């Protein structure tokens, strides 16, 4: 037997000024996307902005429903909109931000498991790493691939592939 260790690397930024301009623009787009949030039940506004390989930015926000499970997270709203409208464009980077009644959450909002699984699928479909940016009030985290948020991904398309 072998005892193994999994190491996940990511960047913590303490100001958007430390980020490259394209990522700064994406963070601003995710913050702006929160305006479209429909969250009368949770009052938690989530915005997502997805940059495609050609630079196009697709926004999404959480859309809730009185029948709770019918609602959808911001990340999937953005990813499905991009998948539907730009089926041939690989996903490059997804930025996510959440706000409660006090504004942008101090701790960066982290995507739910179902959204991570959907990210993994589109990463495989695009054939390149999908980067993820999690925006908090005083800290922004950047991951260079979905695998870092979802180790041991179930993926029958690219079984065993490592970016």
Q: Among the options 9, 64, 75, 106, which is catalytic? A: 75
111 contacts ligand THU (rule: CB under 6 A) = yes
114 contacts 149 by C-beta, under 8 angstroms: no
Task: Reply yes or no on whether 25 is catalytic.
Answer: no
Q: Examine residue 93 and tell whether it contacts ligand THU (CB under 6 A).
A: no
Phi/psi of residue 86, each to 5°? -135, 60
Helix extents (H) in 10-148:
21-33, 74-85, 113-126
Strand 11-13 vs strand 140-143: parallel, antiparallel, or unpaired? antiparallel
Nearest of 130, 147, 137 to residue 108 by alpha carbon: 137
Asked if 62 touches ligand THU (CB under 6 A), the answer is yes
Nearer to ligand THU, 14 or 68 (CB): 68
The one segment of 22-30, 38-46, 84-92, 117-125 that binds ligand THU by CB under 6 A: 38-46
Residues lying near ligand THU in the complex (CB under 6 A): 39, 42, 44, 46, 62, 64, 71, 73-75, 109, 111-112, 115
């Amino acid at each position: 037997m072998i005892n193994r260790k999994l190491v996940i690397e990511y960047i913590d930024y303490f100001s958007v000024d430390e980020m490259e301009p394209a990522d700064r623009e994406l963070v601003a787009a995710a913050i702006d996307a929160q305006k479209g949030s429909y969250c009368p039940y949770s009052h938690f506004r989530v915005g997502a902005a997805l940059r495609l390989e050609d630079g196009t930015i697709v926004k999404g926000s959480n859309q809730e429903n009185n029948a709770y499970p019918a609602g959808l997270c911001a990340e999937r709203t953005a990813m499905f909109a991009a998948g539907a409208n730009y089926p041939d464009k690989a996903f490059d980077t997804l930025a996510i931000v959440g706000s409660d009644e006090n504004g942008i959450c101090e701790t960066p909002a982290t995507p739910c498991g179902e959204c991570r699984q959907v990210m993994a699928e589109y990463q495989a479909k695009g054939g390149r790493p999908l980067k993820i940016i999690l925006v908090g009030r005083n800290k922004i985290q950047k991951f260079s691939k979905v695998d870092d948020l979802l180790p041991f991904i179930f993926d029958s398309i690219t079984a065993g592939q490592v970016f």
